Amino acid sequence: MTIIRVSLLANDTLRQGGVELIDAWRADSDDKLWVDIREPEQQVIEPLLEERFGFHELAAEDTLSPNTLPKYDSFPTYDFFIFRTVDVNVSEHVSETEKIAAFVGRNFLFTVHRKPSMAADDIWNRCPADRRILARGPDFLLYSIVDQMVDAYFPMLEQIEECVDDLQDRIFESAEDMHLDELLHLKRDVNVLRRHSLPQRELLNQISRGDAKFIQAQHLIYFRDVYDHMFRISETIDVDRDQMTSTMEAYLSVVANRTNDIMKVLTIFSAIMLPLTLVAGIYGMNFEYMPELKWTWGYPLAVATMVVIDAYLYVRFKKSRWL
């Protein structure tokens, strides 16, 4: 069910409440309005956003669709943004991304997200204590939310980095299919993440260059700061991808190397056993006239021959560094 909560800063007084607070706000005033919508449903979105506030139907639709990439659309009386957030899931190596849509006008901000957003909650809670957040304008409010969202990437990237390092260590210890499977899934996660983070970076670059009408010039530097963070994030993602590719290549080499070692053991065993078995076989033949069989020292001599053969092979293998 759609949940709407509203913050209204009027006459230096902050009021927080439900959808009814919107009526207390007038579009031509300097009162600041923040409407935060969770789990948007079409039957709520359409009357509120499209009809009452006159937001474009395509923008309103975008707040409902789950997969939209980060973007910016300019409209005469508001700017429309989509940002992507990250929901970290420590135990299952899974990173889910979610989006947050924002309508920024001269004196209002609408944020729409399908799942609970830690960033929005946090700013909501800080509003009463620090009313400057709203007072500096809806663009600064948006910055505060986006800044928190972007910073949520860092712990997740650290987790991915740890995962890769961990996988790498385990691969060098014991080369098993299972690790490969995990690596492949991790790689897909990182690729999906990359796919979201590059347009987000580009979007933040665009904002910080001053392309958005309703972001005030004196706040551009803040978005530039978020852009720098986002840039670092996408750089880290690229390093991680490279490292995963290298790990996969290394895995192949490690496995090949193990096979090599196993082959060595097999070859040494065969080389040491087969000649002795042949000697034993020869003196197991049943010919009537085999003089060696009659000798008193025949048996010890045969065994001695075996020892000499293996000693010779041992020296040969030692020389060629097989042992």
Task: Provide the minimum distance between the beta carbon of 93 and a copy of itself in the complex, in angstroms, as a whole number.
Answer: 16
Task: Provide the minimum distance between the beta carbon of 46 and a copy of itself in the complex, in angstroms, as a whole number.
Answer: 17
Task: Provide the minimum distance between the beta carbon of 265 and a copy of itself in the complex, in angstroms, as a whole number.
Answer: 6
Question: Any contact of residue 24 with a copy of itself (CB under 8 A)?
Answer: no
3 state DSSP class of 212: coil
Question: Any contact of residue 271 with a copy of itself (CB under 8 A)?
Answer: yes
Question: Any contact of residue 39 with a copy of itself (CB under 8 A)?
Answer: no
| Nearer CB in complex with a copy of itself: 15/264 | 264
Closest alpha carbon to 98 in 65, 141, 60: 65
The answer to whether the beta carbons of residues 156 and 98 sit under 8 Å apart is: no
| Nearer CB in complex with a copy of itself: 128/299 | 299
| Nearer CB in complex with a copy of itself: 10/199 | 199
Task: Return the range that interacts with a copy of itself (CB under 8 A); candidates 6-14, 42-50, 118-126, 274-282.
Answer: 274-282
| Nearer CB in complex with a copy of itself: 130/181 | 181
Question: Any contact of residue 42 with a copy of itself (CB under 8 A)?
Answer: no
215: tokens are 């972001």
Q: Over the range 269-302, which residues count as b (16 or more CB within 10 Å of their CB) and which as e?
A: eebeeebbeeeeeeeeeeeeeeeeeeeeeeeeeb
Q: Which of 29, 42, 125, 253 binds a copy of itself (CB under 8 A)?
A: 253
| Nearer CB in complex with a copy of itself: 87/225 | 225
Alpha carbons within 13 angstroms on the beta-carbon side of residue 221 total 1
Question: Any contact of residue 318 with a copy of itself (CB under 8 A)?
Answer: no
| Count of residues touching a copy of itself (by CB under 8 A) | 89
Task: Provide the minimum distance between the beta carbon of 121 and a copy of itself in the complex, in angstroms, as a whole number.
Answer: 24
One character per residue 183-222, x = contact with a copy of itself (rule: CB under 8 A): xx--xx--xx--x---x---------------------xx
Dist. CA 227–CA 264, nearest whole Å: 55
Angle between helices 138-151 and 153-173 (to 10 degrees): 10
Question: Any contact of residue 22 with a copy of itself (CB under 8 A)?
Answer: no
In one letter, which amino acid is 74?
S
* C-alpha dist (Å) from residue 255 to 34, 206, 241, 250: 58, 47, 21, 9
Interacting residues of 127 by C-beta distance below 8 A, sequence separation 6+: 7, 14, 16, 34, 133, 134
| Nearer CB in complex with a copy of itself: 42/246 | 246
Closest alpha carbon to 78 in 117, 49, 42, 115: 49
Percentages (nearest 5) of helix, strand, coil residues in the chain: 60, 15, 20
Question: Any contact of residue 129 with a copy of itself (CB under 8 A)?
Answer: no
Q: Which residues, 57 to 116, sit near a copy of itself by CB under 8 A?
A: 58, 62, 67-69, 71, 73
